[in-house]
Amino acid sequence: MMAGFKVLSADLQLDANKSAHNTGAYMSRELIVRRGQPVRLVLNFNTSVRVEDRLQFTAGLITTNASTPLLEFNFYDSRSPAVNSWGAQRVETGRNSVTLNVFTPSNAIIGRYILSIHTSEGQSNLASIVLLFNPWAKGDVVYLSDQAERQEYVLSEVGLIYMGTPSYPQYTFWNFGQFQDNILNISLSLLDSTQSFQRNATEDVRKRNNPIHVCRVLSSILNSMDNNGVVEGNWSGEYSDGTDPNSWTGSTPILRSWFGQRRPVKYGQCWVFAGVSCTVSRCLGLPCRVITNYNSAHDTDHNLSIELYYNSMGESLSRSEDSIWNFHCWNESWYLRSDLGNFYSGWQVWDSTPQEKSDGLYQLGPTSQRAVKEGEVDMKFDTPFVFAEVNADVIIFIEQNNGRVTKGPTRENYVGQLICTKAVGQKALKDISLDYKYQEGSSKEREIYSKARRKIRGAQFEALMSTPPAPQVTGKITVSGTPTVGEDINVTLTLTNMTSDNKAVTVNLSAAAIVYNNIVRRPILNNSEAVQLGPNEEKGVPLQIKYSQYDKQLTSDKMIHITAVYKVENMAETFVETNIVLLNPPLQIKALKTAILDSPMVVEVTFMNPLSTPVTGCVFKAEGSGLTKDVVEKNMGQLEPGQKTSVKIEFIPYMVGEKELLVILTCDKFKDIKGHLSINVQSSSRRLRACCV
């Protein structure tokens, strides 16, 4: 090599590389690329470069407390480097410059690297490069073949998270914001904050080429149970020293708060954990989506059965740690499972909501979705727990006034009534229940359930109690209309006499305010009455819950649990239940002008207080990736009964294209009145052309 030969500058070809690597949306001037795909660089030297000049490069991971090897690779004039290895190849030679491609393995460790070159004058640092997973590269285990799915599960910054009930699914928009300012730095920092990294930093970093490891450690650090993780869970209904989980609309304020203060953010529930997890996963290049499982089982004793206890009034008893959540959200990420085999590759379940410990930490997954469907509960990780979440049987026990406990009905089809996610490219629900289990009630579904039980408990099943005879009187609870907060609720228990004899029935109806994981927070009412049924007669038992009765009892989840325990003379009690999710009054949002890149934009938000009482502490908040760099907040104070108010929200869009503005109103009576507006941000050049036509 010629003496005095040195690098003067390096052109990182930022725009071209980011376009080629699908990383142009990251709000950073750093070189962000995906593994297994060439990176184009132009190096400028102090003298001409000869064909025989052999340049040497190194790539070193930037981590704290970890000893990782310096990766050395050579510059090749014509031939490509070895497949799936680090290397550099000459593309073009100028007078004093060389254009080259830097190659990275498709199984490289993700993270931030320093790329250096060695010449006769010594070492020169060329660039800091962030290397991500690559769903576009066939050699990467996270490869996703469908472009529409890559757009949805990697590039989309806004999504839908489903809540509510299986009969009435409701969605909330969530601003993932994975490309927003500093989110990539925060995501990489999270990897250096895990228990795995603290125990053995070097080993942990070496495993960061594997999405199995990355998902597992993220599922722990994103909750606060074992370390100063990102989100602190709270299901108490009391959030005065933090933020009500229902009041979040996106991940970026949460991640920035954690990064700035290095302490857990108060508070989150399952959809918050899932939303933040999806942000970090997509930011690192892992295809990810949020899943909602309705009537989700929490099986604490790992027997694939949920035992629930009630008294004769239908009130829940704390006899069992098992529970049924009205819905539960988790994540799926897409990749090959080299540890399990190709059949179990594809969507992998992981969950950062702290529920049960796994290997001593509050973490879950990754669990193969296919393993769950096939009942392979002996496969790692945490497959029995996920199987129970979607397919456990539910056994009801009723404690009579004399203390005697009788077994009620066993529900084989109650858990996992609907499993869904956002449809690709649409603001619509996609039912994926059959990806997790065979058709409910089919012989195949029962066969798989029995197989899983045998793997968990051996050949002998435990008979908890004998199965009760078929009921002589059946019951069903229905709700009139779609109840909205502030309105009275009308419920009917319909009793049907299945016999040709007269039947005297004693009915106990109860209503309670709950949080979404079915924990009762405040009772609302109890009502008892006697009903006479003639042969084969059907009769309705009405129940009205007035707003004045539930107003002060309702939690921010706006859920009411209705139970009915009815007893036919000389027969055991029968239990039926339903959950009601009350709707919020609407927000009206409209754009007051055309949205232009880097120009002030104004939207108007209108709300009318539908209640007969004032609402106080009214605050409007708005955010949207590409629209607002921070949350925009407007305080409105108090609204009188029937009063309508409008507020103007101003911001400057900073990205072109279709964007979503998410708006939330919080006050003393309503914690999460949400709305959204699709805004098409036009480029300034387009506006100029339109003006000149």
Q: pLDDT tens, 78-125?
A: 667 777 889 888 888 888 999 999 999 999 999 999 999 887 777 889
Q: One of 53, 244, 270, 329 is an active-site residue; which one?
A: 270
Residue 471 DSSP symbol: P
Q: pLDDT tens-digit profile of 164-174?
A: 999 999 999 99
Domain 147-457: CATH superfamily, name plus number? Transglutaminase-like (3.90.260.10)
Interhelix angle 383-391/443-457, rounded to 10 degrees, is 140
What is the arithmetic mean of pLDDT over 448-469?
70
pLDDT value at residue 6: 85
Instruction: State phi, psi for 615 to the nearest 5 degrees.
Output: -115, 140
409: pLDDT confidence band, cut at 50, 70 and 90?
confident
According to the annotation, is 376 in a ligand binding site? Answer: no
Cα distances (Å, whole numbers) of residue 622 to 240, 252, 280, 647, 664? 21, 13, 22, 11, 7
pLDDT of residue 51: 62
Provide φ and ψ at 245, rounded to 5°. Answer: -55, -30
Task: Let me know if 244 is a catalytic residue.
Answer: no
Q: At what angle do helices 270-283 and 211-221 cross, to 10 degrees?
A: 140
In percent, how much of the chain has pLDDT > 90? 78
277: helix, coil or strand? helix
Instruction: Using pLDDT thresholds of 50, 70 and 90, give the confidence band for residue 687.
Output: low
Q: pLDDT tens, 14-70?
A: 999 999 999 999 999 999 999 999 999 999 998 887 766 667 888 899 887 766 667
> Has 440 been labeled as part of a binding site?
yes
Quote the CA–CA distance of 253 and 258 in Å, as a whole number: 9
Mean local confidence (pLDDT), 526-549: 96
The answer to whether the 7-132 and 147-457 domains have the same CATH topology is no
Distance CA 387, CA 351 (A): 13
- Which position among 328, 329, 557, 561 bears the catalytic label? 328
| Cβ(141)–Cβ(107) below 8 Å | yes
For residue 77, the model assigns a pLDDT of: 64
Task: For residue 420, indicate whether it is catalytic.
Answer: no
- Please give the Cα distance from 339 to 94 (Å, whole number): 48
Q: Which of 133-142, 351-360, 367-376, 684-693 is least confident?
A: 684-693
Residue 34: the pLDDT is 99
Q: What is the pLDDT of residues 351-374, one digit of tens each?
A: 999 999 999 999 999 999 999 999
Over residues 560-582, mean pLDDT: 91
Nearest-angstrom CA–CA distance, 363 and 356: 8
Collapsing DSSP to helix, strand or coil, 445 comes out as helix
Cα–Cα distance for residue pair 467/158, rounded to 1 Å: 48
Residue 579 among known ligand-binding residues = no
Give the Cα separation of 289 and 281 in Å (integer). Answer: 9
Query: So where are the chain's domains?
Result: 7-132, 147-457, 473-581, 588-692
- Of 181-190, 250-259, 684-693, the poorest mean pLDDT is in 684-693
Rounded Cα distance between 163 and 101, Å, is 47
Query: What are 176's two structure tokens?
Result: 């993932």
Which are the contacts of 608, defined by CB distance < 8 A and separation ≥ 6? 585, 642, 643, 644, 645
CATH of domain 588-692: 2.60.40.10
> How far is 176 from 154, CA to CA, in rounded Å?
11
Which residues are CB-neighbours of 458 under 8 A, at least 6 positions away? Answer: none
Catalytic residue from among 53, 140, 204, 351: 351
Q: Is 359 annotated in the active site? A: no
| CATH for the stretch 7-132 | 2.60.40.10
The class of domain 473-581 in CATH terms is: mainly beta
Is 315 flagged in the annotation as binding? no
Which helix H or strand E contains 14, and what residues bound it? Answer: helix 14-20
Q: Is the Cα dihedral 205, 207, 210, 213 positive or negative?
A: negative
- pLDDT class of 421 with cuts at 50, 70, 90: very high
Pick from 225-239, 252-266, 308-322, 331-345: least confident: 308-322
- C-alpha 642/C-alpha 255 separation (Å) is 38
| Rounded distance between C-alpha atoms, residue 53 and residue 286, angstroms | 39
Average pLDDT rounded to a whole number, residues 152-177: 97
Report the percent of the chain where pLDDT is more than 70. Answer: 95
